[in-house]
Amino acid sequence: MTGQTLSKNDRILRQNIVGSRRLSNYFWASVISLGGTGFLLSGVSSYLHKNFLPFADPTQLIFVPQGLVMGLYGVAALLLSLYLWLSIILDIGGGYNEFNQQTGKIKIFRWGFPGKNRKVEVDCSTDDVQSVRVDIKEGLNPRRALYLRLKGRRDIPLTRVGQPISLSVLETQGAELARFLGVPLEGL
């Protein structure tokens, strides 16, 4: 969760969630795009025996197998970068959590992949909330997340997917949300 916003009367809490529009995704999409373009141009240069790269001379490569493999790597990298750029443009995973004490409603919204169910929305009542659960798993693949535990339903994740947030931020956000909803905080 990036930003928490309380309304003027302190009865609505809205948490904005960063999706795929993170700095790391922009970095990797750019790097893979540049690398894929270089590999593809190397493969084309070795096939046509005309240099398309200013910093190397791939015309000296034998097209089969070296130029062909470099061209295939370039196509694969460009397809991967296209996927990354589309997920950034569509902001996959981005959205918000809104807790409204005036209406007694909770709305969890995320953008998904294009198709029939592009918008992922979960609506429930504040009366259905049992607790706010903190999930912490350390080790090789650490996980730190907040979940909304509901009566008779699965736990709903509230934090972003990706790199884990710091323990202090997770504890603070969990405690503020539990205090706002008037429910216990579990898992600490």
Q: Give residue-wise pLDDT tens across range 175-185.
A: 999 999 999 99
Is the backbone peptide bond immediately before 114 cis, with ω within 30 degrees of 0?
no
In the chain, CATH 2.30.29 covers 3-19+93-186
Say if residue 38's pLDDT is above 60: yes
Confidence (pLDDT) at 27: 97
Question: Which CATH architecture group holds 3-19+93-186?
Answer: Roll (2.30)
CA distance 132 to 143: 16
Phi and psi, residue 61, nearest 5°: -75, 145
Whether the model pTM is above 0.85: no
